[in-house]
């Protein structure tokens, strides 16, 4: 899983490829590499470096390597450890052909064995390298297109790859099956990339390669073929995407900046949804009647988006009285699929590119069921492939740990649940408008609570809790999925082990884990019945001398008095309790990771958008 970039055109490729890689680093940052057909020597040159892109920038310093045909790659490792030898581009035996790849070649072991028997020399542990050797072999026997048609028949799995080589000097070959790949068409220059962001600002004329396409990309023209060799003629579409990274704006990390952008993100999201010309249903690919008749909703996502969906389940079931199931995308795809009538399948994804979620959409669509997506990226694959979509207006999220995408998803789901309830005649228009006001109040509280505790967390609490190497997170009802998100945030950016449980489940086993070296973080709710249960759980913890930190609401004094440390937040509409607490929770976790000196925006082993299954 990775970012793929290519350039062929009137200019030298290196600066374009490197700029593209910088913008695609969210797809992986284990290592990076650049290859081109050198202008002076006309030979293939390739430079790679382990670690973040900055290391490749350093490796390229003082190296004259450049040419008008080039490719580059930023890696999130699947096969083979993080090392320069496993960084892309990979080359064939004679180092005349090089390949960058996003995806997984599932039958690479078999292909590697066969090629090794034919004396091909392998230098890496990756699946990708087989592509370079297959091309080497095929091109010695046939023309470029025929060679590519031969090898796509041999490759199994999902892949998007770019390839350049001395035998086909003026061309970048781009091949797509499953994983995304697009081509930007400029004036006597072409850009190839996993994401249009890579060339945003250079051209807005884009061809998204259809699945199972081979593109032979030349400076002034493009040849497209399907995997049977039939030529395709596609009209480019105008895609207005801009690269809006204005830096950290004075904040120490993107994550901190994005935590503080949540209030405006929530406001922008709700305003966008509220002002949709024909209401949300047309945008979701549905009629109002279909919305009225909706009996079940399935929400699918991964990571933080899955947590937002699980909180959203409470919105749809409580407000719109629609049965809602929430499924992890990586599980859903391989579960028995039992379609029902009057249902909607909705993906949640910040990026709109996560492979597991995208594959679920494709599978559901394949069964003829209605699909929609709630995403932050209007130009994403999920928007293009689902029947309808809604957007969160969080603005570009750079930090790998998701913050403002989560809170804007919650806002979007809360608002949609009200629109659905209205459509079903359960609430009037005034109640929908009230939801809008409730969201704005929650957004204010989200930010105010960070400001209120910022200093003391930074000075006192974060350094203290950074000393523990494990923690337990507890929640109940709507605060349970929220505690899952809190634990995920802590794991992602601090590397502290964090286990979450529904608080009521503690007594069924996990209570044995209570010990002085394991703080317990308990998240309260605003539902009176649930609050009483949470109080009992807090008592159980204290009876065993557990170290208890509570995230509560003002007025919940009994709970706060039981705790070793209590944070309080102003009350909001009960279902918005997690949204109101989001900022404080994220900041607390951020400050712990910062106290530990972790690379917060790019934690080890992670990537922002996971485009392999």
Q: Which helix (H) or strand (E) holds 578?
A: helix 577-595
For ligand G6P, the binding residues (CB under 6 A) are 302-305, 349-351, 354, 357, 400-402, 606, 608-610
Q: Which helix (H) or strand (E) holds 184?
A: strand 182-185
> Which neighbouring-strand residues pair with 5?
72, 193
Cis bond before residue 89 (omega within 30° of 0): yes
Instruction: Map residue 207 onto helix, strand or coil.
Output: strand
In whole angstroms, the minimum distance from the beta carbon of 195 to ligand G6P comes to 12
In whole angstroms, the minimum distance from the beta carbon of 28 to ligand G6P comes to 11
- Rounded to whole angstroms, the Cα distance separating 455 from 566 reads 15
In whole angstroms, the minimum distance from the beta carbon of 579 to ligand G6P comes to 17
In whole angstroms, the minimum distance from the beta carbon of 612 to ligand G6P comes to 11
Ramachandran angles phi, psi of 217, nearest 5°:
-105, 120
Cis bond before residue 84 (omega within 30° of 0): no
**Which of 16, 29 has the CB closer to ligand G6P?**
29
Give the burial class of 277: count Cβ atoms within 10 A of its Cβ; 0-12 exposed, 13-18 middle, 19 or more buried: exposed
Q: Would the CA dihedral through 373, 376, 382, 388 be positive or negative? A: positive
E strand spans, 222-370? 222-226, 231-232, 237-238, 296-301, 323-328, 343-349
Ramachandran angles phi, psi of 374, nearest 5°:
-110, 115
Contact 474, 523 (CB under 8 A): yes
Residue nearest to ligand G6P according to CB distances in the complex = 303
In whole angstroms, the minimum distance from the beta carbon of 352 to ligand G6P comes to 7
Pick the catalytic residue: 2, 163, 182, 360? 2
Pick the catalytic residue: 95, 112, 257, 608? 608
Instruction: Map residue 251 onto helix, strand or coil.
Output: coil
- Rounded to whole angstroms, the Cα distance separating 419 from 390 reads 13
Contacts with 155 (C-beta within 8 Å, 6 or more apart), sequence order: 105, 107, 111, 131, 134, 177
Task: Tell me, yes or no, if 46 is annotated catalytic.
Answer: no
326's tokens = 């929430």
Q: What is the Cα gyration radius of the chain?
A: 26
- Count Cα neighbours of 324 within 13 Å in the Cβ-side half-sphere: 22
E strand spans, 247-370? 296-301, 323-328, 343-349
Ramachandran angles phi, psi of 80, nearest 5°:
95, 140
Geometric angle at alpha carbon 51, from 45 and 56, rounded to 5°: 35
Q: Would the CA dihedral through 389, 395, 400, 401 be positive or negative? A: negative
2's tokens = 């990775």
Give DSSP secondary structure letters for 496-542: -EEEEEEGGGGGGTGGGG--TTS-EEEE--S-HHHHHHHHHHHHHHH
- Rounded to whole angstroms, the Cα distance separating 211 from 232 reads 12
Task: Tell me, yes or no, if 360 is annotated catalytic.
Answer: no
**Which of 302, 442 has the CB closer to ligand G6P?**
302
How does strand 548-553 pair with strand 388-391? Answer: unpaired
In whole angstroms, the minimum distance from the beta carbon of 447 to ligand G6P comes to 21
Question: What amino acid positions are annotated as catalytic residues?
Answer: 2, 608
């Amino acid at each position: 899983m990775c970012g793929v970039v290519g350039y062929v055109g009137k200019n030298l490729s290196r600066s374009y490829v490197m700029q593209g890689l910088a913008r695609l680093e969210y797809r992986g940052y284990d290592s990076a590499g650049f290859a081109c057909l050198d202008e002076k020597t006309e030979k293939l040159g390739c430079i790679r470096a382990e670690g973040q892109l900055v290391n490749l920038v350093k490796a390229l310093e003082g190296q004259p390597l450049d040419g008008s045909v080039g490719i580059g790659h930023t890696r999130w490792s699947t096969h083979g450890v993080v090392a320069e030898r496993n960084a892309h581009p990979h080359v064939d035996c004679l180092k005349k052909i090089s390949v960058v790849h996003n995806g997984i070649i599932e039958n690479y072991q078999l292909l590697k064995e066969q090629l090794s028997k034919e004396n091909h020399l392998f230098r890496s542990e990756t699946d990708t390298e087989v592509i370079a050797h297959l091309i080497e072999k095929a091109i010695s026997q046939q023309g470029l297109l025929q060679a590519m048609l031969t090898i796509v028949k041999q490759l199994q799995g999902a892949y998007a790859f770019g390839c350049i080589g001395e035998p086909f000097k003026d061309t970048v070959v781009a091949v797509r099956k499953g994983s995304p790949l697009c081509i930007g068409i400029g004036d006597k220059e072409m850009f190839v990339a996993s994401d249009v962001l890579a060339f945003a600002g250079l051209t807005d004329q884009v061809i998204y390669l259809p699945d199972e396409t081979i593109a032979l990309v030349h400076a002034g023209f493009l040849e497209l073929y399907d995997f049977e060799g039939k030529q395709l003629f596609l009209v480019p579409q105008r895609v207005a995407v801009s690269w809006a990274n204005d830096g950290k704006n004075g904040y120490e990390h993107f994550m901190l900046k994005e935590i503080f952008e949540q209030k405006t993100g929530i406001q922008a999201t709700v305003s966008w949804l509220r002002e949709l010309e024909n209401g949300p249903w047309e945008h979701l690919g549905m009629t109002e009647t279909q919305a009225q008749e909706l009996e079940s909703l399935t929400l699918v996502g991964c990571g933080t988006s899955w947590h937002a969906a699980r909180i959203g389940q409470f919105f749809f079931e409580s407000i719109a009285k629609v049965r809602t199931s929430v499924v992890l995308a990586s599980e859903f795809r391989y579960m028995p699929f039992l379609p029902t009538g009057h249902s909607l399948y909705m993906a949640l994804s910040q990026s709109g590119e996560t492979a597991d979620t995208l594959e679920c959409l494709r599978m559901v669509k394949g069964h003829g069921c209605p699909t929609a997506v709630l995403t932050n990226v209007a130009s994403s694959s999920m928007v293009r492939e689902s029947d309808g979509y809604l957007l969160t207006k969080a603005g570009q999220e750079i930090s790998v740990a998701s913050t403002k995408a989560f809170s804007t998803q919650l806002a979007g789901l809360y608002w949609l649940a009200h629109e659905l309830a209205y459509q079903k005649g359960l609430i009037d228009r005034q109640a929908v408008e009230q939801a809008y006001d409730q969201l704005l109040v929650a957004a204010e509280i989200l930010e105010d609570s960070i400001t209120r505790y910022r200093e003391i967390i930074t000075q006192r609490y974060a350094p203290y809790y950074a000393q523990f190497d494990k923690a337990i997170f507890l929640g109940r009802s709507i605060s349970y999925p929220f505690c899952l998100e809190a634990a995920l945030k802590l794991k992602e950016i601090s590397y502290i082990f964090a286990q979450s449980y529904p608080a009521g489940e503690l007594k069924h086993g996990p209570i044995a884990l209570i010990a002085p070296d394991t703080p317990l973080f308990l998240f309260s709710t605003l539902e009176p019945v649930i609050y009483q249960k949470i109080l009992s759980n807090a008592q159980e913890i204290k009876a065993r001398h557990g170290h208890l930190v509570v995230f509560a609401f003002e007025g919940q004094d009994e709970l706060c008095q039981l705790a070793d440390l209590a944070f309080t937040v102003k009350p909001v509409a009960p279902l918005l309790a997690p949204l109101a607490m989001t900022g404080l929770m994220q900041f607390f976790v951020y400050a712990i990771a910062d106290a530990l000196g972790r690379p917060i925006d790019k934690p080890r082993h992670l990537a922002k958008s996971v485009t392999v299954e």
